[in-house]
Structure 1
Amino acid sequence: MNDPAFARTRENGMEFGSITGSGKLLRTALGPMVFRAKDSKLTSRLVKVLAQVKNMDTVSARGSRNVADGLSSSTAVALLEGFDFNVKASLGSILNSIVTVDDATGTISIAEYNPLEQMRSPEGATHFSLQAGFLKIDFATGAFELSLSPEDVFALENNTVTPELIPAGVPTLAGTGMHLLLIEFFQEVNGSQYMLNNGSFNVLNLIKIS
């Protein structure tokens, strides 16, 4: 444990433990949003990206580099922005429209589009839902606060929609701001909506970091 020959090994181990902890914290902070749109390799994919973010930490000593300090770099932010929690359903492969975010309120707006023409949906789907998440997370302390918008449900029909998703509030926690969009698909039968057991189309995308 103290042999100088293994100093680099110990440092790498400490940093790996730090980034795996950051990945677990982010998944925990997002709670049910992740459960509803993830793939089997999410943990390893997220750790890989966070390792790159950690490498952007230019203030900590080797062995102590971390995600919190790495995110002070705009390059690190760009690495994490756009991350899809379900690799089988990236935002760009499901939705073909312009998505914008209001950093101050967390409101996510989607430009007017026709769901039948500009969305890829699973067989049997009759409706889809959209939900925004505004997360503040402090990777240094482990604190987090998540505010969600109501789930807006739309019919998959030949019509145009202009969604505006407004989180219930603005998180007051100091930390990194993250804006996320969740898309899920349903089937309506006799007035009741049923979740489709097909995770290949549910989207959870980290739209922006602020």
Structure 2
Amino acid sequence: MPKLKSIIKIEGTLDDLTFYKGKEGYLVRTKGGVSKKRINSDPAFARTRENGTEFGHCATSGKTLRRAIISLLSDAKDDRVTSRLTQTMSLVKNQDLISARGQRQVSIGLATPQGRADLTGFDFNIEAILSSVLLSDYTLNPANGEVEIIDFMPIQNLHTPEGATHVSFTSGFLNLDFATGDKDLQLSPVQNMIIDGTTSNVVLTPAGVPVGTGNELFFLKVAFFQEINAIQYPLNNGAYNALQVIEVL
């Protein structure tokens, strides 16, 4: 992709050139391809329209999930979480084996074991995958969303980023209906501890059992802090924080 090298930074369309800003800087490309009008009406592009409809649905489903857990997600995500989650939702949608092509739904895909498995294990921060950050086993009680880590020693059972002095754990129990958008998120109290050689049990019990007729999703979050003058500050604005969907029912 050609790069724009100029002291003037342009975004938009000029004649047959489109200027835009990407991760690699300001880029330029030529306009081309089939017109939107033809894609929307030509029978030859029926498959394209079906794919576009399902892609939009998957993107919306990912947005629905992100908004449902914004209190967990705000400091535990990477720059590409939106596109990665859309891809995962597409895998879930593919498990809808009853709807016509172009009308397949994430909510129906999640009614299948494989659809739920496709979403389980999703890490919202690809730079801090939970299994690489938390070097300890944990158990989940799906009845109340309680997550427990037995005999946890922070200095031994964490991959601790440089500068971190404290770590916090939070669990989340979400009921989310992807068809209607109805949601209920229950969080555990935050358990914060110094990163040292002390051994203890981490028990994270959500405040309640969420209500609703949607899927039940369970989350575990690990967040790092640096203490300066008795005040804990988020380490590098949460760049090392991990958040994962640990189970879907």
Tell me whether the two structures share a fold, i.e. TM-score over 0.5: yes
Instruction: For residue 189 of structure 1, report the CA deviation from its aligned partner.
Output: 2.1
What is the aligned counterpart of 1:15 among 54, 76, 79?
54
Instruction: For residue 199 of structure 1, report the CA deviation from its aligned partner.
Output: 3.7
> What are the Cα deviations for residues 7-47 of structure 1, in whole angstroms up to 9, with x where unaligned?
11111111111100000000000012111100011011111
| Helix, strand or coil at the partner of 1:20 | helix
| Helix, strand or coil at the partner of 1:140 | coil
- TM-score, with structure 1 as normaliser: 0.96
Does residue 52 of structure 2 align to residue 40 of structure 1? no
Residue identity in the other structure for 2:129 = S
Does residue 236 of structure 2 align to residue 197 of structure 1? yes
> What are the Cα deviations for residues 176-202 of structure 1, in whole angstroms up to 9, with x where unaligned?
000001111111222221111154420
Question: 1:103: which partner in 2?
Answer: 142
* C-alpha distance in 1 between matches for 2:41 and 2:225: 57
Residue identity in the other structure for 1:72 = A
User: Which structure has greater strand proportion?
Assistant: 2
- TM-score, with structure 2 as normaliser: 0.82
Unmatched tracts of structure 2, length 5 or more: 1-39
Question: 1:53: which partner in 2?
Answer: 92
Checking the alignment, whether the CA contact within 8 Å between 2:149 and 2:203 is kept in structure 1 is yes
What is the aligned counterpart of 1:77 among 116, 137, 140?
116
Question: 1:65: which partner in 2?
Answer: 104
Higher relative contact order (CA 8 A, sep 6+): 1
Checking the alignment, whether the CA contact within 8 Å between 1:115 and 1:161 is kept in structure 2 is no
Instruction: For residue 101 of structure 1, report the CA deviation from its aligned partner.
Output: 1.0
Number of equivalent positions: 210
Question: 1:136: which partner in 2?
Answer: 175
Question: 1:92: which partner in 2?
Answer: 131
* C-alpha distance in 1 between matches for 2:230 and 2:91: 47
Residue identity in the other structure for 2:70 = G
* C-alpha distance in 1 between matches for 2:164 and 2:200: 17
Does residue 195 of structure 2 align to residue 156 of structure 1? yes
Instruction: For residue 65 of structure 1, report the CA deviation from its aligned partner.
Output: 0.2
Instruction: Say what the alpha-carbon RMSD is for the aligned residues.
Output: 1.1
Percentage identity across paired residues of the two chains: 47
Does residue 230 of structure 2 align to residue 188 of structure 1? no
| Helix, strand or coil at the partner of 2:152 | coil
What is the aligned counterpart of 1:113 among 142, 146, 152?
152
Question: 2:19: which partner in 1?
Answer: none
Unmatched tracts of structure 1, length 5 or more: none
Question: 1:27: which partner in 2?
Answer: 66
* C-alpha distance in 2 between matches for 1:190 and 1:14: 53
* C-alpha distance in 2 between matches for 1:175 and 1:20: 18
**Runs in 1 of length 4+ with deviation above 3 angstroms?**
none
